[in-house]
Chains A and B, each alone.
Chain A
Amino acid sequence: MSDILRYFRQDMLPHIWCPGCGHGTVTGALVRAIDKLGLSKNKVCIVSGIGCSSRAVGYLDFDTVHTTHGRAIAFATGIKLARPELTVIVMTGDGDCAAIGGNHFIHAARRNIGITTIVMNNNIYGMTSGQYSPMTPKGMYGTTAPYGNVERSFDLCELAKASGATYVGRATSYHVPLLIDLIHSALQNKGFSVVEAISQCPTYMGRKNKIGGAVEMLEWIKDGTVNVKAAAALGSEKTKGKILIGELHNAPESEYTADYDELIDRVQRKYDKFQGGLYGCASNSD
């Protein structure tokens, strides 16, 4: 425990999360993965947006940015491109990532920029007290879905994969060792990595949907998921309606900021006389 505490800003504790919230478990899994990799605290930068999940960065002892709603990946893109040697991590929620930030999410995946995005998916907007999100399953309740949600939800991992993310995994706040493993692998992937961490919100999701408290919610999560490896053996009949967890996609490709650095090398070799030629550049740009 003491080893893990050194990754936290202890003057910031206690945290603001509700009793029984799963976000602390996910945050713990992240620092354990960082610890396992032995990354220097000075070379890791963690970026978040707005929402319950995004408060995590305030508690972590790295260079951290708590940005505007939905924009964490865009801020992180600037940081990573400006300083590719840093390990850049985004901590976001289902609303922050899949609703208001959806566009940045798919484009970061398309670019395959070296950012590890951890989506704490509690299927609801917790910070604003229980509205349905793009990850709320159809038929479930939220304060803005008083008669049941009529919208379909995203499969965020499929979305990430289709958009070009090169590492995609899903675990939950129940399956903690798996979650640590996935984050550990994701951090080692050079491109855009996504780990969806299904997390429980007893205060709103649990109450609104009569699932119960934290323990019942964790059981609900456990029963609703199946490991991708086990699913292959069980067959489609037994896994119907279950959410797959485990490593879902691992297909490394060249990483965007490394490609850009290569471009710089190429351009600089071509224009090696550029020094002092500041004013030369506007000549033929019409």
Chain B
Amino acid sequence: MRVEFRLSGSGGQGLLLAGIVLAEAAILEGKNAVQTQSYGPEARGGSSKAEVVVSDEDIDYPKATDPDYLLALTSESYKTYGKLMGAGLVILDSSVTLDPEIKARTVSLPILKTAAEDIGKKVVANIVALGVLGGISGAATAQSLEAAVKNRVPKGTEELNLKALRAGLDLAKTAMPQVDWTMKRSKNER
């Protein structure tokens, strides 16, 4: 089965790294994975988008065509990519106000706040988001995600990032009733 992720936000939030770790975690489980990105000229700020496709089969086309999951950490990315969502789930940072024009099923989670307040480092929001994506999608187990985080984050920051990952996985657990509900709703609406 092919599962598509789109991770969006602003440049410098580390979403590219989150995408890489997600793809690597899937590979550690023997699945296929492809990660692509698009970016503007800004190293910091501007919009940033990373995509990950995970599949048990061959992946011929590397980009997300109809994402199963959209992560949006900024209002701008939510508005841009939320509108393109079909049956997939939007995972939105709770700092972003819901837009009634975006009809896709959506869960709001305090990703940025968890990083800033619970972990105490804003920069690990990407890894919190990774935990959320991994937990909700089940595309990779907690064990694989941990191994991939250790492989890919800068030396000396492993513990901090693992803490962020676990916080993200916990957030995913708390979100599951809401996710299940939105899925039911979307099925009913179809």
Q: Which residues of A contact B (CB under 8 A)?
A: 283-284, 286
B186 within 8 A of A: no
Can you sample 10 A-B contacts with CB below 8 Å?
A: A283-B151, A283-B152, A284-B151, A284-B152, A284-B154, A284-B155, A286-B16, A286-B17, A286-B20, A286-B152
> In the complex, what residues of B have CB within 8 A of residue A284's CB?
151-152, 154-155
A284 to B151, alpha carbons, bound, how many Å? 7
Determine how close the nearest CB of chain B comes to the CB of A266; give it in whole angstroms. 19
Chain B contacts with A in 7-27, Cβ cutoff 8 A: 16-17, 20
Give the secondary structure class of B's interface: helix
Q: How far is the CB of A263 from chain B (nearest CB, A)?
A: 21
Cα–Cα, bound, A286→B17 (Å): 8
B114 to chain A, nearest CB (A): 23
Question: Which residues of B line the A interface, CB within 8 A?
Answer: 16-17, 20, 151-152, 154-155
| Complex: A283 Cα to B21 Cα, angstroms | 11
What are the residues of chain A within 8 A of B152 when measuring CB–CB? Answer: 283-284, 286
A286 CB contacts on chain B under 8 angstroms: 16-17, 20, 152
A283 nearest CB across to chain B (Å): 6
How distant is A280 from chain B, measured CB to nearest CB, in Å?
11
Q: For B17, list chain A residues within 8 Å (CB).
A: 286
List A contacts of B154 (CB < 8 A): 284
CA distance A132 to B147 in the complex (A): 67
CB distance from A141 to the nearest CB of B (A): 48
How many Å lie between the Cα of A51 and that of B147 in the bound state? 61
Question: Which chain A positions have C-beta within 8 A of B151?
Answer: 283-284
The CA-CA distance from A284 to B155 in the complex, in Å, is: 9
Closest 9 pairs between A and B when the two form their complex, measured CB to CB:
A286-B20, A286-B17, A283-B151, A286-B152, A284-B152, A286-B16, A284-B151, A284-B154, A283-B152
Contacts of B155 in A (CB 8 A): 284
Chain B residue at minimal CB-CB distance from A284: B152
Given contacts A284-B152, A284-B155, A286-B17, 7 further A-B contacts (CB under 8 A): A283-B151, A283-B152, A284-B151, A284-B154, A286-B16, A286-B20, A286-B152
A284 to B156, CA, bound (A): 13
> CA–CA, A284 to B17, complex, Å?
11
Task: Report chain A residues within 8 Å CB of B20.
Answer: 286
A146 vs B152: C-alpha distance when bound (angstroms) = 66
Provide the bound-state CA to CA distance between A286 and B151, in Å: 11
Taken together as a complex, chains A and B put the C-alpha atoms of A286 and B19 apart, in Å, by 12
CA distance A283 to B155 in the complex (A): 12
Shortest B168–chain A CB gap in Å is 19
Instruction: Specify which chain B residues have a CB less than 8 angstroms from the CB of A283 in the assembled complex.
Output: 151-152
CA–CA, A41 and B20, complex, Å: 54
A286, B149: Cα distance in complex, Å: 13
What's the minimum C-beta distance from B123 to chain A, rounded to whole angstroms?
A: 15
